[in-house]
Structure 1
Amino acid sequence: MAGVGKTALLNKFNNEYLVGAEGINVAIYIEVTRNYDLSKIQKIIGDRLGLSWEKKGPKERAVVLYKVLSKMNFVIIFDDLWEPINLRMLGIPVPKQQSKSKIVLSTRIEDVCDRMDVRRKIKFDCLPWEHAWELFQEKVGDALAHPNPEIRRQAESVAMKCGGLPLALITVGRALASKRTTKEWKHAITVLKIAPWQLLGMENDLLVPLKHSYDCLPNDKLRLCLLYCSLFPEDFSIFKEWIIGYCIGEGFIDDLYTEMDEIYNKGHDLLGDLKTASLLESEDEEHIKMHPMVRAMALWIASDSGTKETKWLVRAGIGLKEALGAEKWNDAERISFMRNNIFELYEQPRCPSLKTLMLQSNPALQKICDGFFQYMPTLRVLDLSHTSINELPSGLGALGQLQYLDLYNTNIKVLPSELGELVNLRFLLLSHMPLETIPNGVMCRLTLLQVLYMDLSYGDWKVGTSGNGVDFQELESLRRLKAFDATMQTPAALQQLAQSPRLAGSTRNLLIKTAAGLKTLELPSSDLWKNMTKLKRIWVVTCADLEEVVINGPDVRPENDLNTLSNTIIRGYNTVPDEEQSVLPDLESIILQGLQKAKIMYKGGCLQQLSSLFIWYCPGLEHLISCANDESEEPLVIIEAFPKLKELYLHGLPRFKSFSTGRYLLCFPSLVSLKVIECPKLKTLELSAKDLLEIHGTNEWWNTLEWEDDTEVKERFMPLFRPLR
């Protein structure tokens, strides 16, 4: 990114190291402008080599340069490249690996390195805190010699907001060199939070250089996506799926793709391009971060270079207890008051241009006044998740352009009939809320819905005479639905879901709750699952009648003949026909919770893609799997029912005593983490797990384990134990 010190280092390298360097005939430093001229670069190189260019065109110059440079050891430095430079057209020979000749370049865009086949890339990181603080103190000077320790604390807070970026530390440090009181320093912190461009020197010395990277982005979708990231709090780890969903709602990501997975992949690609341009940082595969100074630049751009400070009204994560007055909302296009402590919204703002309103993660927010949304005709994205509101205000139906509505983890029990007027909704997120009532005729009016999340939420669907709530047919009328997280409370609704190819094919997460009369649940080979090709998680909770969860894959035969081998290995995934592997191909997680008498029966096959298995408070469970013929006198049978399981969590199982029964041994070839809590009868760890890295449990439980003089097993597992506090 800009300001990290690339140019300073290359200048130092050129002026101090290369001057008179042994074995180097010529060193040439070239600062490349964004719209560089090939002939000007050739002239700079030619002048350094003492060549005359009279009456020679670019191609002739390239031939001469190539001949001359090929006969010497050279170092050519290209500083601040914005796009790949054609060395062949310039006439610069590409040095061989062992040659003393080198071509060095700096760029803000990683893709430039890749497209120029750079052999070695060195990433310039921002300064660590110790060096950042040292540089900041140097630029602030005598102001930090003040005896008041509060000033030093405030100064450290300011320096930390620079994120280790040298240019920011220098610019901000100089701007605050004359500040002598704690109130002046506190004001500086406030300015950096809200309008950093107001600080002396920030605009010209820092924000304008940073903006060059923004200007060079190839399209407006990328620019808007970057600006959107600035709606989140400073230094916040942003879940990529959030940003992508918002951008779809805003219309930044086009509708070229029909499948939701393809649309989200396009969003991930946009975020990847912003990372390549050094405008976003990668936390991990699922999260991104925005450097504080890049965020400052984005907010400055969004406010028309600081001239319209309420155009993007962002006060995210700064401890607000009350929203800004309604008069400040009038000109806003995007508003973010997320992650604050706002209690109530009691005014009716008039926002004719507002497109996004983010109020999520205000846990104290309980009431929004009636008519609050009455004058927001262009609103497309509304996030009220993680608040304590227990009802939606009247006037919601005025949001005719709304495409994204998030009510996740609110206290709403009843949806208003007005919700049916939001006919342009594409995203409706209703998960993790105590929703009890949806008026008839609401869901079926939302015909443009593509994403509907309702796990751990409403599940009282009416199928025939079963259920008391909304007719299941309303769900089946959602013909554009691509992603569905569902709660099903009756076997009839579960069966109806399975028999609806569109709904079943859209289901990603399924919560089966209560389901009175459901006695057996079979995985994966059951007609129940054949249409659920995108299902990632199954959560079975408080099903009091459930007696068996059956693992029953396609018929699996032992790899080896029992007559010739003492051990039999069953690996379901090695012998399953391709056409049968399509059953639950994406199932990654199973949660079994509050099942009073259920046990897990193994009849064959495996759950091919399962990576996590959580079992909570199932008092009747004695074994992870029970086998139908566990009294057999056959030799040891090794079962790989979970070939890709990485995480196994056992919690609150008072009767649990072993992983398998009889002559069967469970093999977990991919297991990394095992957590055991409140399983007092589990005294042995009879399992095979070659990749296991950690076993979590209490010291009390661990100290009661019995190893049966198996020194090898004990030595294998002892170093992996991680005591729970």
Structure 2
Amino acid sequence: MGALASILESLASKAAEYMVDSTPEQLGYLFNHESKFQNLWSKVQELKDARQRVQQSVDEANRNGEKIFDDVERWLTMVNDNISDQATTQLQEDEKKAMESYFAGFLLGIKSRYHLSKKAEKEMEAITQLLNGKDQFDRVSYRSVVEGMSIRPVKEYEAFGSRSDAFNGLMAALNDDNVNIIGVYGMGGVGKTTLVKEAARQIIAKEKKLFDEVILVAITQASNNSNIQNEITEKLGLKIEERSVDVRAARLHDRLKKINKVIILDDIWEEHDLDALGIPSVDKHKGLKILMTSRRLEVLKSMGSQKSLPIDILKEDEAWNLFKIVAGPIAERSDLQSKANEVAQKCAGLPIAIATVAKALKHKENLHEWEDALEQLKPSEINFRGVPGAVYSAIEMSYKYLKTEDLKSTFLLCSIMGHNAAIEDLLKYCTGLGLFHGLDTVQKVRNRVLTLVSELEDSSLLLAGSTPECFDMHDVVCDVAISIASRDRGWLALGKEDVFEGWSDVETMRNYNLVSLQHTKVSELPDELECPNLTFFAMVNRDSCLKIPNNFFKGMKRLKVLSLEKVNLSSVPSSIGSLRSLCTLRLIDCGVEDIVMLGELVNLEILDLRNSGIRLLPKERLKLLDLSYCYSLKVVSPNVLSSLSRLEELYFFHSFDRWEVEGTDNLIRSNASLVELQHLSRLTTLKVRVPNEQAMPEDNIFLGKLERYKICIGDGKWYWTETRTEASRMLKLKMKRSSNLFSGIKLLLRKTESLYVDEAEDVREMLDDPVNQGLPHLKHL
């Protein structure tokens, strides 16, 4: 008995050691371990359910091209660590040990039960904290600012001494909490935009805690509140569904109050109400700075500029230094230097003039060419839209020095296309006008257009756009180009600031070769317009009540390009059917539904019906058919696509996707099958979505012939937006097994530059497939 008593005393002492606090809580670790593990498993399941909901939201956000918040990413990582297979296995082993110790007897399992119960409670506390953390997520993601829009070095900026006062004043205002609206003013081409961009870049680089980004919005003469809102929201990565300007302003206002950014409203021509745009007033948000540029000080003052800074022309030595930098060594060649200096002086200290002239002359090695340039740089007597005479002469000289007629014609066309214009639209215009002889395919024309745009950018007559697919033009250069085209080529090109009531001037109208009315205020259109020489007519409508009379186009027999945007064409004028020379037809956002009359357009090659209400596909002999954003297009009759034997480029972007499965009896088919595309031997470009992968034909070798494509296969809810990368070959796949990939898709993978894969179970096998040759062109995965 003495030995047994000794053992019991020892065990009791050990039990007391673990119940030193002698509280019900401590005793609970010993007697309630089973309920503690049951509660733990309940919490684990609750956490798994929460993870599933959050992960679902994250997956949806990723498909929509949105960024996931860092705290959400961290939360998912911690949850996955807590309920991983390894962690779950360990919990199961702990529970088993606790039960084994229980059946081994109270005193014999006391230490094990105590520790395991306490561990289970700690695990439950950790899981409870994770569950509480999930409740902090109002949303899991945000739409990031489009790549390429964040501030970057301004390559054309030079720190001229004469600009130091303005630049230092601008930097001081950006640092001043009491100044939120800042203005910079000066004549066109003096460098206002360059200065504010560089100042904003530097303030962000040095003071990242104050501002995280710059957004540049080109206002221009044609901008209205809706246009400006669209550009701000796009660059913020903000998605606003509402159409009402007032509602959009309220949404934008709420968003801007929560961020620290610099917004540049560039090139303001007239007063805009910032509140009406959705930009918070200065007393409501100190984290937002508004930089405005204008040619007119009074405009800046009317918009509440708290500090307005003037930008003057360059001093003579600064102008000469800039000229030498742009023109290169030839400007300092001993036999040319004096003439080069005179040329620089003729540019009147305006950077835009200096840059264009210096680039035009940088390869001119003969003295007589520089002397001729001096002659051409005599200040112009033309006073067009307030462009200084010296600047006008400089830009006109640069235009004359363009080497080819192709360059000159393309440059002038660019001037009527507005800011950040699409190269694809320029392509459609050039094709329609037949500017480039001997180019028999759309792709060959595209190559020429891309080459010419690049050359014009190198000449400083064009600027790079916000994406590789766009280009831009300085307002002053645009004004000079329009003036030249009006004077020399019989063009009528008007913008938002213009009012046109010249329809009744019959003789003048008969002499026009091109008419472009971009948001121009026009009087009621005549019943019939007699323009026998007109080859190009474009109009972006500003008046929803404006109607186009049925016979309006009847007197335009030579018309080759017709482009209408936001014009009410629920009933298409029958006179369009009489345009037998028409090659390019663009009816954008015009409400078009019935286009049967297009069958009469025997020379039509480019048909662009983006954002229209078209319900049936036309049967035409086309080279390019763009039906993007035609949400109402639900039916493409069988065999219509296969009849487009000349088709080279087909765009169904946010449009028809109800492809029939191969093998369906033609007699009962109600829609087109992708098999029909096999008959299009010239097809090189395709943008299409195929939700039902079964609709992909097994023998789809035609896919291997494509040179440009954006193809989505599978039922993924892809966020279909134009990429801002340079990838022209994009493939999106949502297919469980790569064994489902057909030979044609594998051929596409060889050339794909941007690849998106969703839920594939064997991505590695797909990427390693020898048929794909290692995806040699892949840039983005």
TM-score (norm 2): 0.44
Structure showing the higher helix proportion among its residues: 2
Structure ID, larger Rg: 2
Greater share of strand: 1
